[in-house]
A and B are shown apart, each in its own frame.
Chain A
Amino acid sequence: METSASRRFKQNVPLLWMFIPGAVFYLLFKYTPMAGLVIAFKDYNLYDGIVRSPWVGLDHFRLIFSNDLTIDIIVNTLWLSLLRLVVGFPFPILLALLLNEVRATWFKRSVQTMVFLPHFFSWVIVGGIVLTLFSQESGSLNILLERWFGYTHSFMYQVPSWITIYLGSGIWKEAGFSAIIYMAALAAIDPVLYEAAAIDGASKWRQIWHITLPGVSTVVVMMLILSMGSIMEVSFDQIYILGNPAVSSVSEVISTWVYQLGLQGGQFSLTTAMGLFESLVGLLLILTANQIARRMGKELW
């Protein structure tokens, strides 16, 4: 009779073999770059490499936090993503609530099919659609404006309309797909509750107010906390594709700045310092979010 320890070992051998390539992947492509963050404290140059480049301590961070341009970029990042969260957050919930009240299955299915679709488009596609609709010379909206009122508006080149397009395109792309999680929560509500309420004479509105909304409230709170953790994240693709020099005062964010100055300008250390700052704030936010969630008995890990 073999002992349970040796049996466990036998069972583990194939698992460990399977696991090795993945472990190498995580070490090489996830943990090695973390070690590479050390160049944020060095004056990295290609000739000396990471190890031998001279140490400069916190110089790059001092530069970042004393320069108006970089502070603007950090503010833009926070501002755009905060706007996106606040404005975009209610849409998936609303959509899920509306879909939940649809009885005709074929109609529900068709609407779902249409609203999920944009999620699978690349920002390149969304950008192409945005230009088709809003560009000054040939955008459909401007052609209509020209025809009806005799003037055109440069939607892509003015800050207020650009921000509206930025927010609108984000909602257009993701609201439908984000609704899935709320729809799952709504589907989990016991139908008996509705039947009982209907027998008691509760109107549609009272049913929504007293049964549906409490039923999704935990998921809503969870998603709200989760989204807090992503305040530092602004999609590079979206900004890079929709942005243009005329609106760079609001559209230049950390990721596009790192791309331009780091990858194209070769200022690796300075931009790594910015990246480290971004990662640390992100880490802090997600840990805080998890703490809050834990208080509510809903921690993520």
Chain B
Amino acid sequence: MRASAGEKVFYAVNYLVLLIAGMLCFLPLVHIFATSFSDPGMIMAGRVTLWPLQWNWDSYKALFMGTRIMGAFGNSIVITLVGVICSMTASIAVAYPLSKDYFYCRRFFSLAIIFTMIFSGGLIPNYLLVKSLGLVNTYWALWLPGLISTYNMWVMKTFFQNIPRELEDAARIDGCGELRLIMRIVLPVSVPMIVAISLFYGVAYWNNFFNVLIYMNDTSKYNLAVLVQQMIFSASNPQLAIEPDLQRAIAPEGVKAAGVLVMVMPILIAYPFVQKHFVKGVMIGSLKG
């Protein structure tokens, strides 16, 4: 089938528009990358565009020596790893029973859980609860109230429901108990979904800003999101504990760009490998449960 002249124009415009859209999403990041590795003089003069001018590590030197970024990086990793493990375990433990039609009071439990998605106590009652439980200034204030994301849990439930029944029935006839059934059959066939949901939880914990802001009092407990935010927005010059020579040699813009890049780096590294899982996760979620 040959394309008419009109169609050719259509395709050309379409490709061009999409190319621009893609670049718009990607180039700002390239600019940040270029800024973080450029010579301060070039940054100040506004000469840096999409490639570092006069490669230079000073911004990173100032960032790592003058701020608590290493500690915050470690905190972000702890928050994310422990959070994902707790959240996944708890979510599976709720989603699996709800996926079984023989589970007692399934409809009641489902409705009670869905209701929390459309109505909530709001910020202040939540805060007072966390405070009265003595969780303020501990990471449990992040892990416990955020243990189960109902949306993620519901995606899991939908996935479990769609596992062919014959698989389970065969195992049951062989005398397999419920726990062994989950470990040997259900979880192994759910690996793509488990990867996808773990990633959803992981990104949410990594990017967590608000809860760290309100629940952590010690600056040493801040994660990257809060530390980088304060560095970027507090003043035009980040407060750096570095020797005056280096302080004079750096451009604030460069240090800020370096901070942003350190925070997105793990996401950028993981992204190409996990992108298809994310998409799959959204697709499962869009099925009616």
Contacts and interface: CB of A to CB of B under 8 A. Distances in A.
Contacts of B46: 138, 140, 143-144, 146-147
Interface string B91-117: 001101100101110000101111010
Nearest to A7: B102
Interface stretch (B55-63, B228-236, B240-248): B228-236
Interface residues of A, number: 91
B11 interface: yes
Contacts of B228: 124-125, 128
- Main secondary structure, interface of B, reads helix
Interface in A73-125: 95, 98-99, 101-102, 107, 110-118, 120-125
Contacts of A275: 121-125
Contacts of A99: 18
A47 interface: no
Given A138-B253, A176-B25, A204-B6, A34 B125 contact: yes
A37 B177 CA distance: 43
Given A120-B271, A125-B264, A19 B109 contact: yes
Interface in B269-287: 271-272, 275, 278-279, 282-283, 286
A132 interface: yes
Interface stretch (A23-31, A62-70, A158-166, A209-217): A23-31
B29 A129 contact: yes
A258 B123 contact: yes
A32 interface: yes
Contact of B25 (A114, A127, A137): A114
Nearest to B95: A22
Interface in B177-220: 177-179, 203, 206-207, 209-210, 214
A22 B94 contact: yes
A191 to B, nearest CB: 13
Contacts of A50: 128
A132 B32 contact: yes
A241 to B, nearest CB: 6
A147 B122 CA distance: 48
A34 B264 contact: no
B148 interface: yes
A127 B120 contact: no
Contact of A120 (B128, B203, B214): B203
A276 interface: yes
Interface string B251-272: 0110011011001100100011
B35 interface: yes
B120 A30 contact: yes
A64 to B, nearest CB: 14
A262 interface: yes
Q: Which of B26, B125, B253, B267 has the most CB of A within 10 A?
A: B125
A177 B256 CA distance: 27
Contacts of B116: 26, 30-31
Interface string A229-262: 1000000110011000000000000010011001
A17 B282 CA distance: 30
Contacts of B28: 129, 132-133
Contact of B257 (A16, A132, A144): A132
B27 to A, nearest CB: 9
B39 to A, nearest CB: 15
Contacts of B263: 122, 124-125
Contacts of A176: 21, 25
Contacts of A115: 21-22, 25
Interface of A: 8, 11-12, 14-16, 18-19, 21-23, 25-26, 28-37, 39, 50, 95, 98-99, 101-102, 107, 110-118, 120-125, 127-129, 131-133, 137-138, 140, 143-144, 146-147, 172, 176-177, 180-181, 184, 198, 203-205, 229, 236-237, 240-241, 255, 258-259, 262-263, 268, 271-272, 275-276, 278-279, 282-283, 286-287, 301
Give the 5 A-B residue pairs with the shortest CB-CB distance, closest first.
A33-B121, A36-B125, A275-B122, A22-B94, A143-B46
10 contacts: A15-B100, A15-B103, A29-B145, A122-B225, A128-B32, A138-B253, A176-B21, A184-B286, A276-B122, A279-B121
Given A29-B144, A35-B121, A180-B283, 14 more contacts: A12-B102, A12-B104, A16-B104, A19-B93, A19-B94, A26-B112, A26-B148, A110-B22, A115-B21, A116-B275, A124-B226, A133-B31, A138-B44, A198-B1
